[in-house]
């Protein structure tokens, strides 16, 4: 009789232990949804006053590959400045309302009037507070694979696949690499018409640095060729 009671008690204890382990395991899991990541990205950029980073842009079309580099600056309000070291002295600047794309070798500048929330100035503008809002409004988004985050070169990222809601003739699909710790967009890969692929990566990011407003204004000189509202391949 005593042996039977002990056996029942032991079975009950094992059942209770297994039940508790299941509850603890469920409680420890974090079920992350793409909308959770997107919300944190928006919150992060909303709180961010400024940043400075190194950038690399890789453009590929068929068997052609072009790599450009430089320093990127951001200030709250959609202000961005991409100053190129390769090719030297090219710049992409936006004050949040207007964008200038200056190509040194042509001594030419393309001027774009940005259309409020419906425009973010291309890939460079996507790395701003107003740009991320436009990005997630314009594209459907989902995780690239079910298991997130993924580890790449010892860094953890949430990979978001973006597909354009309405075709605009621009980037139809994008892949965003969101740092799993800071929820900062570290890299964007984009597909454009005619088989063109573009990736833009930020590295060595310094948050909330002091930046003068003059960085986000462009002065058009008399000898420059000016093209109004024309998309350029540098974006």
43 and 18 together in one domain: no
pLDDT score recorded for residue 51 = 96
Assigned domain for 215 exists: yes
152 and 165 together in one domain: yes
164 and 62 together in one domain: yes
Q: What is the pLDDT of residues 14-36, one digit of tens each?
A: 444 444 343 344 333 455 799 99
CATH label of the domain that carries residue 92: 2.50.20.10
For residue 89, give Cα distances in angstroms to 41, 59, 92, 222, 226. Answer: 31, 19, 10, 18, 17
- The structure tokens listed for 153 are 């070169």
Q: How many folded domains does the chain comprise?
A: 2
Q: Which residues, in sequence order, are CB contacts of 231 under 8 Å at separation 6+?
A: 110, 112
pLDDT score recorded for residue 21 = 41
Average pLDDT over residues 111-117: 75
Average pLDDT over residues 177-204: 92
Question: Is residue 10 predicted with pLDDT exceeding 80?
Answer: no
Listed residue (114, 129, 133) closest to 235, CA to CA: 114
pLDDT score recorded for residue 168 = 80
Average pLDDT over residues 178-186: 94
Predicted TM-score of the model (pTM): 0.81
127 and 177 together in one domain: yes
| CA atoms of 208 and 211, how far apart (whole Å) | 9
70 and 146 together in one domain: yes
Assigned domain for 233 exists: no
89 and 21 together in one domain: no
Question: Is residue 2 predicted with pLDDT exceeding 60?
Answer: no
20 and 48 together in one domain: no
pLDDT score recorded for residue 3 = 54
């Amino acid at each position: 009789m005593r042996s039977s009671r002990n056996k029942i008690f032991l079975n009950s204890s094992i059942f209770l232990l297994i039940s508790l382990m299941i509850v603890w395991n469920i409680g420890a899991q974090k079920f992350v949804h793409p909308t959770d990541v997107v919300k944190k990205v928006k919150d992060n950029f909303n709180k961010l006053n400024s940043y400075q980073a190194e950038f690399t842009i890789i453009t590929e079309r068929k068997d052609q590959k072009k790599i450009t580099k430089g320093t990127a600056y951001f200030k709250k309000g959609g202000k961005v400045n991409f100053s190129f070291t390769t090719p030297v002295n090219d710049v992409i600047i936006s004050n949040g309302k207007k964008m200038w794309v200056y190509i040194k070798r042509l001594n030419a500048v393309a001027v774009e009037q940005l259309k409020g929330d419906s425009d973010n100035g291309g890939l460079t503008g996507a790395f701003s507070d107003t740009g991320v809002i436009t990005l997630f409004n314009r594209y459907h988004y989902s995780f690239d694979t079910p298991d997130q985050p993924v580890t790449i070169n010892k860094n953890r990222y949430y990979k978001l696949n973006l597909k354009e809601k309405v075709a605009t003739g621009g980037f139809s699909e994008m892949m965003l690499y969101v740092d799993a710790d800071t929820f900062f967009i570290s890299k964007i890969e984009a597909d454009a018409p005619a088989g063109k692929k573009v990736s833009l990566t930020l590295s060595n990011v310094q948050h909330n640095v002091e930046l003068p407003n003059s960085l986000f204004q462009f002065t058009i000189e008399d000898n420059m060729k000016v093209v109004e509202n024309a998309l350029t391949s540098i974006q």
